[in-house]
A and B are shown apart, each in its own frame.
Chain A
Amino acid sequence: MKKYVALLLILSLIVMSFGVVGCGQKQAKTVKIAYIGPITGPNAAIGLGMKNSAELAIKQANASGKLPYKLELLVLDDASDPAQAVNAANKAASDPDVVAAVAHFNSGCALASVHAFHKFGLPAVIIAAIHPKITQNGYPEITRVIGDINIQEKVAGKKATTEFGLKKFAVIQDQTDYGKSNAEAFMDEVKRNGGEIVSYDGIAVGQQDFSALLTTIKAKNPEMIFFGGLATEAALIKRQMADLKIPAIFMSDSGILSSTFNEIAKDAATGTLAHGYGAPIEDLPGGQAFIKAYNEAGFKEPYEAYGPFAYDAAGIVIEAIKKVGPDRAKLVNAIRDTRDYNGVLGKTSFDQNGQTTADLVTTYISENGKWVPYYKSTLKVKDKKIQ
């Protein structure tokens, strides 16, 4: 009798283990995409908007029923800290179900984690980190859906020379990495388009009085003063330009696109031009549909400025999975080969470095104490009213 009981037990164990294996096979059909971005820390609001948007893309893909797998988002926090970013990348890469990642708002995080992605052969689409070097390691795993720092100034330089028809430029920069690289990229593009740089000066961050420098610049009659730097110094320069009645347009870049600039420069702010990444979301090609879907999905947090970038990054990954299946090695090439992906941001294609070829940069102008897209503003460069 004991024998039979034992046999029965063994049989039932075997059956049960079959059952478990069966379940295991079913679970293998879940495919994970990692999201790595700031969920806590100073950029948490932006990071949560990006996370929700990536999640929205995955929900929509699951709902469409076209995939033979269930997609899942593995959310990992980088807290805007490069060390945590590397940990998160390692964690994502060591999970065999994770086939790709969409990652990062901060350049520091992306610069650190790309090496981990490369080491593990995990394809990663960078969402909103703009440092040029992120895509310059020659890693086939890394792609990026946002333009790098040079694209902003390429657009700015071209706009100032060809569209606005300006010829004489004075350039000032604040001697930080950010200010200097922006100013130099701007000057390169201006010179390429036949513009003339009449002066190029550096200032110190924290300096208050620019009247001496500006008086010297005024004597050279530039049509535009370009500043590479941040809001505080920019506001002081713009005010002192107004005080000295310098008849030149003032332009800078995303570093001054904040309310701080308008608050400090006050009336003098009017007519200042600045370039920023992306565009007002409602004006993007797929913007309205995105906003509608996002609102219907019932997320607690707003999508913030970079939600659409995360949505497209996740969309590109899903598109590639549809083509080649959930296999990291194949996905590396499939993502890299993305051409004309039709997303919220418009058409995305990657160049040989994995960098998006789209130059989604918007010109903003300060009007009535606010930054408005230049194409929506009543102020125009040609009217000369904005000096």
Chain B
Amino acid sequence: MAEFAVVFQQLLNGLSLGAMYSLIAIGFTLFFGVIDLINFAHGEIYMLGAFVALITVSILGGMGLIGLNFIVVLAVVLLVTMIFCALVGAAVERSVVKPMRGAPDLMTLLVTLGVSIILREAVMLFYPNGANPQAFPDLLPAGDFSLGGVLIKYEQLFLLTVAAVLVVFLYFLVNKTDYGRYMRATSQDREAAMMMGLDIDRIIVLTFMLGSALGAVAGVLNGMYYNIIKFNMGFLMGIKGFSAAVVGGLGNIYGAVVGGLLLGFLEMFAAAFIPGGSRYQDVIGFLIVIFFLVFRPSGIFHEKVYEKV
């Protein structure tokens, strides 16, 4: 392989990984933006998304529908997963986050941490053979093409397309719709928004559903990309998604996207171009976070400086 092709291949590898980080980071940033909450259960929502997709696929298979057009199957799987995880997100908000409103932020943080452990252990205990890694089915026709020596898989294209579509959708949602305006209002000044007659509770729950649905998509994409899912996959991914959000600037949606991509690229390049770097691949991300927290705590996109947590 020519040198430049290697670099582009690594760029593509980083882009695919970064897109997944971005989707998770958006969730973190939404929760933080609207109610100043760091939701540690978000990583488990992502894990749940992967498992719900797996169950959906096997149910479809049991009904003999898996032979249908793969686009139909994918759409059904993504839809079911997003709805399910949105509901779980809403349930988490209503059952444990809402009662904590007004309590010190540290309490809410602990509560979400507790929820994450419960969700993780529940999947391990109740999913058949849940402690072992599960094989994730190929939902896309396998295939790839070469572009100037760079191999591009259909899965990578799909992953990047889905991520891009979701980001664009989010842009319109936040900037062009009423709900987006309510969300921004709540984020800027909750009391003022309430005084203007906004139903804050509803906006918060909707935000949770939105963020959780995006996290669930990241879970499905991760399953499709690596073909393996595990009950504890949410922990590391959650922390990385959070890191990406911090790097980008917590509370800023574009920051989350950029932060995720940056993290993906840095990990790839560390593994590729630092001798012996592959063993530190997972550490690099956290080094970056520490760097940002020390030198630029507001992230790349300066959204709001937070004193809490």
Interface bits B264-298 vs A (CB < 8 Å: 1, else 0) = 00011111110010110110000000000000000
Residues of A within 8 A of B6 (CB): 215-216, 219
Residues of B within 8 A of A239 (CB): 226-227
B133 adjacent to chain A (CB < 8 Å): yes
A283 adjacent to chain B (CB < 8 Å): no
Stretch at the interface among A64-72, A116-124, A203-211, A309-317: A203-211
Residues of A within 8 A of B226 (CB): 208-209, 236, 239
Interface bits B231-243 vs A (CB < 8 Å: 1, else 0) = 0010010000000
How many contacting A-B pairs (Cβ < 8 A)? 83
Interface bits A188-209 vs B (CB < 8 Å: 1, else 0) = 0000000000000111101111
A133 adjacent to chain B (CB < 8 Å): no
> Interface residues of B: mostly helix, strand, loop or mixed?
helix
B138 adjacent to chain A (CB < 8 Å): yes
Stretch at the interface among B9-17, B68-76, B159-167, B175-183: B9-17
CB contact under 8 A between A218 and B1, given known A212-B267, A232-B133: yes
B10 to A201, Cβ gap below 8 A?
A: no
B281 to A264, Cβ gap below 8 A?
A: no
Report the Cα distance A309→B207, complex, angstroms. 62
Which of these, A202, A236, A264, A267, contacts B279 with CB under 8 Å?
Answer: A202
A245 adjacent to chain B (CB < 8 Å): yes
CB contact under 8 A between A213 and B272, given known A208-B228, A243-B153, A264-B227: yes
A260 to B10, Cβ gap below 8 A?
A: no
Q: Could you tell me the distance in whole angstroms from the C-beta of A349 to the nearest C-beta in chain B? A: 40
Closest residue to A211 on the B side, CB-wise?
B13
B122 adjacent to chain A (CB < 8 Å): no
B278 to A212, Cβ gap below 8 A?
A: yes
Which of these, B14, B132, B133, B138, contacts A266 with CB under 8 Å?
Answer: B138
Report the Cα distance A14→B146, complex, angstroms. 99
A236 to B228, Cβ gap below 8 A?
A: yes
Q: Could you tell me the distance in whole angstroms from the C-beta of B278 to the nearest C-beta in chain A? A: 4
Q: Could you tell me the distance in whole angstroms from the C-beta of B244 to the nearest C-beta in chain A? A: 15
CB contact under 8 A between A264 and B1, given known A202-B278, A204-B281, A243-B144: no
Which of these, B138, B151, B273, B281, contacts A209 with CB under 8 Å?
Answer: B281
Report the Cα distance A317→B236, complex, angstroms. 52
Which of these, B133, B135, B268, B273, contacts A211 with CB under 8 Å?
Answer: B268
B272 to A215, Cβ gap below 8 A?
A: yes
Closest residue to B132 on the A side, CB-wise?
A260
A301 adjacent to chain B (CB < 8 Å): no
CB contact under 8 A between A266 and B227, given known A215-B272, A216-B272: yes
A15 adjacent to chain B (CB < 8 Å): no
Residues of A within 8 A of B281 (CB): 203-204, 207, 209, 212
CB contact under 8 A between A266 and B135, given known A207-B281, A212-B272, A216-B272: yes
A175 adjacent to chain B (CB < 8 Å): yes
Which of these, A202, A208, A218, A264, contacts B135 with CB under 8 Å?
Answer: A264
- Counting chain A CB atoms within 10 Å of each CB, the highest count among B14, B16, B267, B279 belongs to B279
Q: Could you tell me the distance in whole angstroms from the C-beta of B265 to the nearest C-beta in chain A? A: 10
Q: Could you tell me the distance in whole angstroms from the C-beta of B20 to the nearest C-beta in chain A? A: 10
Interface bits A249-287 vs B (CB < 8 Å: 1, else 0) = 000000000001001101100000000000000000000
A244 adjacent to chain B (CB < 8 Å): yes
A175 to B279, Cβ gap below 8 A?
A: yes
A171 adjacent to chain B (CB < 8 Å): no
Residues of A within 8 A of B233 (CB): 208
Report the Cα distance A239→B230, complex, angstroms. 17
Report the Cα distance A175→B282, complex, angstroms. 14
Give the residues from 205 to 231 in chain A that come closer than 8 angstroms, CB to CB, to chain B: 206-213, 215-216, 218-219
A201 to B13, Cβ gap below 8 A?
A: no
B151 to A243, Cβ gap below 8 A?
A: yes
CB contact under 8 A between A260 and B133, given known A206-B236, A215-B9, A243-B151: yes
Report the Cα distance A215→B281, complex, angstroms. 14
B135 to A209, Cβ gap below 8 A?
A: no
Report the Cα distance A208→B222, complex, angstroms. 10
B227 to A219, Cβ gap below 8 A?
A: no
Residues of B within 8 A of A263 (CB): 135
Residues of B within 8 A of A344 (CB): none
A235 adjacent to chain B (CB < 8 Å): yes
Q: Could you tell me the distance in whole angstroms from the C-beta of A49 to the nearest C-beta in chain B? A: 23
Residues of A within 8 A of B278 (CB): 201-203, 210, 212-213
A212 to B271, Cβ gap below 8 A?
A: yes
Which of these, A201, A219, A236, contacts B276 with CB under 8 Å?
Answer: A201
Residues of B within 8 A of A260 (CB): 132-133
B282 to A207, Cβ gap below 8 A?
A: yes
- Counting chain B CB atoms within 10 Å of each CB, the highest count among A212, A235, A236 belongs to A212
B228 to A264, Cβ gap below 8 A?
A: yes
Closest residue to B153 on the A side, CB-wise?
A243
B279 to A212, Cβ gap below 8 A?
A: no
B13 to A215, Cβ gap below 8 A?
A: yes
A235 to B151, Cβ gap below 8 A?
A: no
B272 to A232, Cβ gap below 8 A?
A: no
- Using A203-B279, A212-B281 as known contacts, list a sample of 5 further A-B pairs with CB atoms less than 8 Å apart, ordered by residue number in A: A212-B270, A236-B228, A239-B226, A245-B144, A266-B227
Q: List 28 A-B contacts (CB under 8 A).
A: A201-B276, A201-B278, A202-B279, A203-B278, A207-B281, A209-B226, A209-B268, A210-B278, A211-B268, A212-B270, A212-B271, A212-B272, A212-B278, A212-B281, A213-B271, A213-B272, A215-B272, A216-B6, A218-B1, A219-B6, A232-B133, A235-B228, A236-B228, A239-B227, A264-B133, A264-B135, A266-B135, A267-B142
The 4 closest A-B pairs by CB, nearest first: A212-B271, A202-B279, A211-B13, A213-B278
